[in-house]
């Protein structure tokens, strides 16, 4: 095998370096001529939406539900109270994961008539109340029977939780599971309780 001469090697290296320099120069030119101006225009034309601040809106109280003992719950009876309304389903794993924390929240306020924690499902009563996974969680479980969920409580997903103040306004909404027994939740609910009467 013949070893190339030093002169041939230097010519090859010089040519390779020149090609590499041309490619780098081309990339820099493309960036400054096309990419950077396009990015600047896209940023200038971007339409940003405002942050989603809580916007209180009227809650709906015109529905009834049924508990495990077939006792009817008239939601109108909760007017004037702080209500934590949770919409859930037994087939929803995030819903099942957060039910114990809603049970703890309900237990915390069990001696307080100003606060109610209601977990509402649209599934049939047999599906909800004969499900061993939902038994013994301490949450107050109810089913809607023969009526749709009021539109104010409809969301793109469940679990969905709505906090209603004493004036009948939805002041907080949360879609997704959460720890509802956290001290920050109790602090928030207590702040709603301490506001003026409805």
The predicted pLDDT at position 30 comes to 61
Per-residue pLDDT of the chain in tens (198 residues, 90 and over written 9): 566 677 766 776 677 777 777 787 677 676 677 766 776 676 666 677 777 777 899 999 999 999 887 788 999 999 999 999 999 999 999 999 999 999 999 999 999 999 999 999 999 888 888 877 777 677 889 999 888 999 999 999 999 999 999 999 999 999 999 999 999 999 999 999 988 666
Cα–Cα distance, 63 to 103 (Å, whole number): 22
- Is 169 within 8 Å of 58 (Cβ atoms)? yes
The predicted pLDDT at position 27 comes to 72
Cα–Cα distance, 190 to 198 (Å, whole number): 15
Cα–Cα distance, 153 to 173 (Å, whole number): 9
The predicted pLDDT at position 20 comes to 75
The predicted pLDDT at position 31 comes to 66
């Amino acid at each position: 095998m013949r070893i190339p001469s030093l002169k041939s090697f230097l010519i090859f290296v010089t040519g390779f370096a020149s090609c590499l320099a041309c490619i780098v120069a081309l990339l820099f030119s493309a960036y400054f001529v096309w990419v950077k101006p396009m990015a600047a225009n896209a940023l200038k034309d971007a339409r940003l939406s405002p942050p989603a601040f809580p916007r209180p809106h009227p809650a709906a109280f015109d529905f009834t539900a049924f508990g495990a003992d077939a006792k009817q719950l008239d939601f109108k009876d909760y007017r004037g109270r702080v209500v934590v309304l949770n919409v859930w389903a037994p087939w929803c794993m995030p819903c099942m994961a957060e039910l114990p924390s809603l049970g703890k929240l309900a237990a915390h306020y069990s001696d307080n008539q100003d606060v109610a924690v209601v977990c509402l499902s649209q599934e049939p009563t047999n599906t909800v109340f004969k499900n061993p996974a939902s038994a013994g969680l301490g949450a107050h479980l109810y089913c809607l029977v023969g009526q749709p969920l009021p539109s104010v409580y409809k969301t793109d997903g469940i679990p969905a939780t709505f906090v209603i103040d004493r004036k009948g306004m939805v002041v907080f909404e949360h879609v997704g599971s959460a720890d509802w027994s956290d001290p920050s939740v109790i602090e928030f609910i207590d702040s709603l309780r301490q506001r003026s009467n409805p």
